[in-house]
Each structure stands twice: as C-alpha cells, then as structure tokens.
C-alpha cells in the first residue's frame, strides 16, 4: 500500500510538471494613425492604444520617443481615455511624451485609448515611434507587472504625398466638463496635517485643460476675487474652513464647469461684514424712503 | 482488498468517467471509501491550452465569464459593445458572435463570427421594433463557450428636422443621454455604481438579487463603469468594471452584470484534517464553485440558498501544511457566469484559530483611514509620488501600500485594485 501511495505521488508530481508552461499573454501597446504618410508643414495625429490580451490591467506608464528634428508636438488629446486618473498627465519632455495613470478596477479589452498626439511634420524623413520604460501592471492587488509588447510604428514624411492627407478634425465641443464633487480632507502626511481639497472631472470631447480655484469668507464679494490656476490636491488658505471654495474645470475648448463648496464652519451673521453692509445699506434706503414720503406728506 | 481500484464505472449516453481512483477506507478517515483524485483531459476541440493542467475532483471543467453587454439604439441600427470574457482552465475567449431576435428569449439569428472584438454595429434594423441581442463567446475553434444575458434596444428615427415651410412652433424636447444598468448582486444588498472611478449612484437589489440603476446627464463618449456590492454581513465584493460607449441623445442598456460572490472563512488557521468553512453570498439558488489553491487546485460545488448564502466545508486533509487561498464564482444555468471573488487566505496548521469576518475597511490603499479608497487617497499618494517620504508617511506606505519606501506605479496599482470610490 505504501508503494502504491508512493507511485501515486510520483505520478502526481510528474503530471504537475506538465502544467507548465502555461499560455503566456502579453498586453500590447500599439499606435494608430489615419495614414502612415505625412506632408511637410502639415499636422497628423497618432493615437496610442492598449490591447490587454486577457489581462486585467490597472496602471500604465511609459515614454514615447519621437525625433524632434522631424516633428513638432502641437497638442495632446485625452478626452476619451480609459485612464481615469493621471499620475503624470501626458506631456512633452524633450523628444518624448511621458505619461502614467491608473484605471481603478482595471481594464480588460481591446483598443483601449490612452491618448493621442498631434504632430506637425517639420521636414522629410522616416519617423519611428518608440515606447521606452513602459510598465503595465495587473489588477491583482500587488501590482505585478504584465508582459508587454510594443507594435512598431513608422510614418514617412514627404514634401508631397501620394495620397491626400486628411485634415485633423477640430473637436466640436460645446459641452461643459462633467459635474464633479470636490472633497475637503486632511492627513498628517501632507503639509503637516493642513486641510486640502481634491477634485477631478472628465470632459469626453476635448479633455480637461486645467482647474482654477478661489476661496473667500464672503459670499457675494468673492465674485470680485481673481481665479488662480491650480492642481489637485490644493492646500486651502483658510485652514479654519470658514470660506466658500469655488473650483472651476476648464476644458480644452474653453467650456467651464464651476462648483461651490460651502464652508464647514460658516461665519456667524454678525462676523460677516457683508451682512453689516447690507444692514447699513438697508437702513440708508429706508431712511431715504421715509424722508421722501415725509416730504410728500408735508407738500400735501 | 486492494488498496486502490481503477475502473470506468460511471457511464451514460452522454459521457463516461474514465478510471476514477478509489482508495481503501483505511487510507482515510472514511469507513467506506474516499474518492481521492482523478486525472482526465478536456475533450479535444474545446481547449486552447498549450499543455494541460491537473486538478483533483470532478469539478475542474473549464468556464468562461459571461460578458456585460451594452446596447445603444440609433437610426435603423443598434451599437453593441461588451466586456471581454475571461476563460479559466484552458478555455480562451478567442472570438465573439452576436445573436439577434425580435422575440425576447430568442431564437437568435447569429452572423458569422465577429472575431476577437468587443463591439459591433447591427445595421439594417427597423425603426420602432425592439430587438433582443445576446453575445456568444467562442473559443479558438469556434465552439460556443459562454452566452451573455439578453439586452434589448429599439432603433428610432431621428426626431425633428426635415419638413419645409411653416414657421413658429417650439422645438421638441431633446432625448436624454442615459445609461440603464441591470444585473445580479445579492438579495437586498446595496449596489454602488462608479462612473470613471467615482461614485455615481447607489441602489438596493431586490430579494431576487436583481438590480437596475439609471444614470442620466452624461456626455457622449467612452466611460469605464464599475459596480460592487456589500453582502448581508457587510463584506464588500470585488469590483466589476466594464467599458461602455455613450451616445448623445440615446439610452444605452447595459445588461448581464453579475457581481462575483463575497467570500470569508471561519478559521484563519485550521488544524490539518479538520474542516474549514468557506462561505459568502451570491444570487439565490446559484451554483457556487469554490476553488482552493494549493500546489494543486481543488474545487467544490454547492448551491446558494434562497438568500444567496453559501457554505462549503473544505476538508483540510487534502492539502499540506502552510498557507492556502480560496476564491469562489457563481453561475446560474448557462446564462450567467460571474468572475471570481476576491481571494481569501487561510493557514493549515496544528490548531484551529477562529477568523474575524473581513472588515469593510479595504486591506490596502486606504491612506487617510476613512474606510474607503478614493480620490483623497489617490491625491495623498500623488503628493508623495517620486518624493522622499516623510517620517509620518513612511509607516503608512509600509502598512497600506507595498512597503518599499517609495511611492511609484505599483502603489497606485494596489490602490486601484482596492478602489471603492
């Protein structure tokens, strides 16, 4: 019987060895463009996609290298990206576009748009787009690295192309960025426990360009206050949380969405000089009316 | 008596179980016999595995999750999109096919395979007629390995426009841009819907676990939606995400959402040879497959009760001393197969140690300790991204992130996994 158990174990261990190698999948980073030809002096758009190939992935980062002697980066569009939060919003850095971001809960699918870039072709040549330092992480709770393959992509720039290069459509965006709810929080690890505000929203058409903020303890006079451009998280100036805070999201087409956060510790009515001004103004008006009516009465 | 016997004792007109292995009663604690293991292969043509796996028990059949399907009506057409199906134990979703019918429940007319894509436009439809669609998942050989729940859409001609002459008259009301989500959670459980990772709506499932949520005021574009639920004990499910494309002025129906079961164990350490209870909640009367991962993977199957509660007693004598992991998935007929639940760990040792119920506080990622993982935590992590950590933040990074003394993409990935919105 012991012999049989031994043989069974041997058979089992041998069989386990056959499990491997499993099929290996690799998420694929790929580029796409309407055409692989470009004309000197004209713009063309290149879009970066990810095909997850059965993997559920939730974090992306990388660096797209392009020859800046041949190309001039004009614009980056991320309006329909699968990335919900940018850690580093795609931006130009010398001859590269660096990006990193996350998709909470993960993404598993094909042709997941990361962002697109519009370049102007400066002179003739062959443009090879490369992706360096690319990392794609699995949605597995430990951030393990998924295997990644990058599909090579080339664009040929000529003085005159054989096919007509389609013009890049201008984004018709009349919609405001989406409604959002900023949140005020504090944490000992940020600026010594100071209160800060966090916010993020999306604009599906043209993408968010920037955010602006202003805070004031006065409800009405805040309209005379200037907006200042900011990023999330923003350390609040009023650490007593007695101010109204306005946050404005501006998309790349200039549409704006403004939200107001009421103070957590509003001023008492007697502490707000606005109220005193209103009272004084009211008294003055009442006095003027009374005087006016009195004069009319005397005339009669 | 032989210490074990091999035979092909189980036969039917449809299948035959070859060579089950029986061990003598003396080998185990059973007074009769114990079926210890079986080795077989998946029938040819149904698996794309490059090699084969070995698992104990009769339940190691391959499965594929049923896709979450979106249907958006247009003028004489319906745009379909769906989440990618996930295959297990050798099955790989290699293509999809759309079934179409004007009768709910079918029969459905299928086109030729659409290939490995996750969207398709069904054109040539009659405006005003309601169409019902299912998405069939196919393996590399074109076999159907899963079929989604049905979704419907009614193509409509664009309103207004056209017509000459006439002045005045007010403009019509623009149709709203909305998405209706429907699926299964747990009976009377709270369901939370995230839109691009931020809480957009909550709802309570019915006693049959079905829920429906309508979200309006959206812009046209691509969204990542996600849902999760909390069971009767407050245990949170894993997050189920699916991309959906929203069209301006149209209502998109998203159907076939099936939230994975919750899972817990009654012991954090079980004395080898004793049972450990693996339990949780899913939809009522669902087939629950519990998987225990060790050097090999063990499967058990039970049916949840009318409240969706399931309980599986796993005999720890099957596995060696050490740490093991359990997860579960649910299926209802052949119409809905969930993804796997979160993974829960337990230890097989020399004593029994009762386990605490999983807390509602996420195990990782909650940097400000408010019981949630959301934009605030993301912002705190973003603040420390590529910076030298302060003395206050270092212990948090160790406890709630990956503990490597820096904040980088891996930490954000951990937060994204435990995200609650």
Q: What is the pLDDT of residues B229-273, one digit of tens each?
A: 999 998 999 999 998 889 888 899 999 999 999 999 999 999 999
pLDDT at B188 over 80: yes
Confidence of residue B8 (pLDDT cuts 50, 70, 90): very low
Confidence of residue A21 (pLDDT cuts 50, 70, 90): very low
Distance between CA A133 and CA B242 in Å, rounded? 28
Does residue A81 sit in the same domain as residue A195? Answer: no
Interface mutation vs chain B, best among A18, A189, A197, A198, most B CBs within 10 Å: A189
Number of C-beta neighbours around residue B193 at 10 A: 20
The SS3 call for residue A279 is helix
Q: Which one-letter DSSP state was computed for residue B364?
A: S
Nearest-Cα residue of chain B relative to residue A138 = B413
Q: What is the CATH number of the domain that holds A84?
A: 2.60.40.680
> Does an H or E element contain A282, and which?
helix A273-299
Does residue A65 sit in the same domain as residue A153? Answer: yes
**A46 is a domain residue:** yes
Average pLDDT rounded to a whole number, residues A158-184:
86
Does residue A143 sit in the same domain as residue A191? Answer: no
Does residue A106 sit in the same domain as residue A147? Answer: yes
Residue keyed to tokens 């951990």: B414
Return mean pLDDT, chain A: 87
Confidence of residue B101 (pLDDT cuts 50, 70, 90): very high
B245/chain A closest Cα distance in angstroms: 10
pLDDT at A19 over 80: no
Residue keyed to tokens 């502490």: A271
Question: Which sign does the torsion angle of CA A227, A232, A237, A243 carry?
Answer: positive
Average pLDDT rounded to a whole number, residues B294-319:
90
Q: Give tens-digit pLDDT for A202-232.
A: 999 899 999 999 999 988 888 888 999 999 9
Q: Which one-letter DSSP state was computed for residue B389?
A: P
Confidence of residue A243 (pLDDT cuts 50, 70, 90): very high
Taking CB atoms and an 8 Å limit, are B219 and A187 in contact across chains? no
Confidence of residue B421 (pLDDT cuts 50, 70, 90): very high
**Residues of A whose CB is below 8 A from B296:** 12, 16
CB A57 within 8 A of CB A106: yes
Residue A22: per-residue pLDDT? 41
Does residue A255 sit in the same domain as residue A148? Answer: no
Taking CB atoms and an 8 Å limit, are A102 and B413 in contact across chains? yes
Residue ranges and CATH numbers for the domains of chain B are 64-159+174-258 (2.60.40.10), 264-354 (2.60.40.10), 375-417 (no CATH)
Distance between CA B270 and CA B188 in Å, rounded? 32
Does residue A122 sit in the same domain as residue A209? Answer: no
CB B337 within 8 A of CB B331: yes
The SS3 call for residue B260 is coil
Facing B243 at nearest CB: one of A61, A82, A178:
A82
Which range of residues forms the domain containing residue A256?
A: 183-267
**Residues of A whose CB is below 8 A from B118:** 109-110
Return mean pLDDT, chain B: 84
**A244 is a domain residue:** yes
pLDDT at B29 over 70: no
Exposure class string for B85-103: b at 16+ Cβ within 10 A, else e: bbbbbbbbbbbbbbbbbee
Among A149-158, B186-195, B214-223, name the most confident range: B186-195
Does residue A154 sit in the same domain as residue A208? Answer: no
Tokens found for residue A183: 């949140």
Q: Work out the burial of residue B76: count CB atoms within 10 Å of its CB; fewer than 13 is exposed, 13-18 middle, 19 or more buried.
A: middle
As a residue count, chain B comes to 421
Interface mutation vs chain B, best among A104, A184, A247, most B CBs within 10 Å: A104
Confidence of residue B28 (pLDDT cuts 50, 70, 90): very low
Nearest to B16 by CA among B35, B40, B33: B40
Taking CB atoms and an 8 Å limit, are A189 and B419 in contact across chains? no
Q: Give tens-digit pLDDT for B136-184.
A: 999 888 888 899 999 999 998 876 544 444 444 445 566 788 999 999 9
**A12 is a domain residue:** no
Sheet of A43-51: strand order equals A71-77, A112-121, A43-51, A27-32, A148-150
A198/chain B closest Cα distance in angstroms: 6
Give Cα B173 distance to the centre of its chain: 39
**A136 is a domain residue:** yes
Residue B63: per-residue pLDDT? 83
pLDDT at B343 over 70: yes
Does residue A204 sit in the same domain as residue A129? Answer: no
Residue B354: per-residue pLDDT? 93
**A132 is a domain residue:** yes
Quote the number of domains for chain A: 2
CB B233 within 8 A of CB B190: no
CB A55 within 8 A of CB A138: yes
Nearest to A105 by CA among A53, A55, A58: A58
Distance between CA B332 and CA B345 in Å, rounded? 26
Q: What are phi and psi of B84, to 5 degrees?
A: -70, 140
Residues with Cβ < 8 Å from A255, sequence gap 6 or more? A173, A174, A175, A176, A177, A203, A206
Does residue A152 sit in the same domain as residue A224? Answer: no
**A288 is a domain residue:** no
A168/chain B closest Cα distance in angstroms: 19
Q: Check residues A5 and B354 and name the one with the higher pLDDT.
A: B354
Please identify, among A94, A123, A158, the residue that sits at the C-terminal boundary of a domain: A158
Number of C-beta neighbours around residue B353 at 10 A: 12
**A2 is a domain residue:** no
Interface mutation vs chain A, best among B416, B418, B420, B421, most A CBs within 10 Å: B416
Least confident of A264-268, B72-76, B269-273: A264-268
Taking CB atoms and an 8 Å limit, are B413 and A58 in contact across chains? yes
**A174 is a domain residue:** no
Average pLDDT rounded to a whole number, residues A232-261:
95
């Amino acid at each position: 019987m012991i012999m049989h158990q031994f043989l069974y174990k041997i058979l089992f261990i041998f069989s386990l060895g056959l499990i491997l190698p499993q099929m290996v999948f690799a998420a694929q980073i790929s580029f796409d463009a309407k055409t692989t030809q470009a004309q000197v002096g004209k713009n063309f758009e290149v879009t970066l996609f990810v095909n997850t190939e059965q993997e559920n992935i939730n974090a992306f980062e990388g660096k797209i290298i392009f020859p800046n002697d041949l190309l001039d980066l004009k614009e980056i569009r991320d309006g329909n990206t699968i990335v919900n939060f940018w850690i580093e919003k795609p931006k130009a850095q010398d001859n590269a576009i660096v990006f990193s971001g996350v998709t909470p809960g993960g993404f598993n699918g094909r042709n997941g748009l990361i962002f697109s870039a519009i370049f102007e072709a400066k002179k003739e040549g062959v443009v090879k787009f490369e992706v360096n330092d690319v990392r794609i992480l699995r949605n597995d709770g430990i951030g393990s690295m998924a295997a990644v393959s990058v599909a090579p992509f080339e664009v040929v720039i000529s003085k005159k192309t054989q096919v007509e290069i389609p013009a890049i459509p201008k984004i018709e965006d009349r919609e405001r960025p989406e409604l959002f709810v900023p949140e005020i929080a504090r944490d000992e690890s940020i600026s010594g426990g100071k209160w800060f505000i966090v916010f993020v929203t999306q604009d599906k058409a043209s993408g968010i360009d920037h955010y602006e903020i202003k805070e004031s303890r006065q409800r009405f006079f805040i309209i005379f206050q200037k907006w200042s451009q900011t990023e999330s998280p923003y350390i609040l100036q009023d650490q007593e949380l007695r101010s109204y805070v306005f946050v404005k999201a501006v998309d790349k087409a200039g549409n704006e969405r403004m939200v107001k956060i009421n103070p957590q510790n509003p001023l008492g009515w007697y502490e707000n000089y606005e109220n005193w001004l209103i009272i004084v103004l009211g008294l003055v008006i009442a006095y003027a009316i009374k005087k006016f009516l009195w004069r009319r009465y005397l005339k009669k | 008596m032989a210490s074990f016997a091999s035979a092909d004792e189980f036969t039917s007109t449809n299948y035959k179980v070859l060579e089950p292995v029986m061990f003598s009663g003396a080998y185990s604690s059973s007074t009769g016999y114990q079926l210890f293991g079986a080795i077989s292969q998946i029938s040819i043509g149904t698996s794309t595995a490059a090699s084969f796996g070995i698992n104990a028990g009769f339940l190691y059949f391959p499965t594929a999750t049923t896709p979450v399907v979106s249907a958006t009506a247009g003028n004489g057409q319906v745009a379909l999109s769906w989440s990618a199906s996930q295959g297990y134990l050798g099955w790989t979703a290699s293509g999809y096919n759309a079934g179409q019918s004007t009768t709910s429940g079918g029969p459905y007319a299928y086109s030729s395979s659409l290939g490995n894509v996750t969207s398709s436009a069904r054109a040539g439809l009659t405006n005003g007629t309601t169409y019902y669609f299912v998405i069939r998942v196919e393996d590399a050989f074109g076999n159907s390995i899963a079929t989604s729940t049905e979704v419907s859409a009614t193509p409509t001609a664009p309103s207004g426009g056209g017509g000459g002459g006439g002045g005045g008259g007010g403009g019509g009301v623009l149709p709203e841009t909305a998405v209706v989500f429907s699926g299964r959670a747990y009976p009377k459980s709270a369901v939370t819907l995230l839109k691009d990772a931020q809480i957009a709506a909550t709802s309570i499932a019915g006693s049959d676990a079905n829920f429906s949520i309508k979200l309006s005021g959206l812009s046209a574009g691509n969204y990542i939606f996600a849902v999760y639920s909390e069971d009767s004990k407050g245990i949170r499910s894993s997050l189920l995400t699916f991309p959906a494309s929203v069209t301006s002025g149209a209502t998109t129906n998203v159907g076939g959402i099936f939230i994975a079961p919750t899972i817990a164990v009654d012991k954090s350490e079980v004395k080898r040879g004793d049972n450990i209870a693996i339990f949780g909640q899913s939809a009522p009367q669902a087939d629950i497959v519990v998987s225990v991962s060790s050097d090999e993977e063990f499967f058990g199957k039970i049916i949840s009760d009318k409240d969706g509660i399931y309980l599986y007693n796993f005999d720890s004598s099957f596995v060696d001393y050490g740490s093991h992991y359990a997860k579960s998935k649910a299926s209802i007929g052949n119409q809905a197969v969930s993804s796997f639940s979160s993974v829960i760990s337990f230890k097989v040792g020399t004593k029994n140690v009762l386990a605490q119920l999983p807390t509602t506080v996420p195990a990782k990622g909650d940097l400000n300790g408010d019981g949630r993982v959301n934009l605030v935590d993301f912002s705190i992590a973003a603040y420390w991204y590529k910076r030298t950590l302060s003395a206050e933040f270092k212990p948090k990074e160790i406890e709630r992130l990956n503990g490597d003394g820096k904040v980088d993409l891996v930490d954000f990935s951990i937060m994204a996994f435990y995200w609650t919105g």
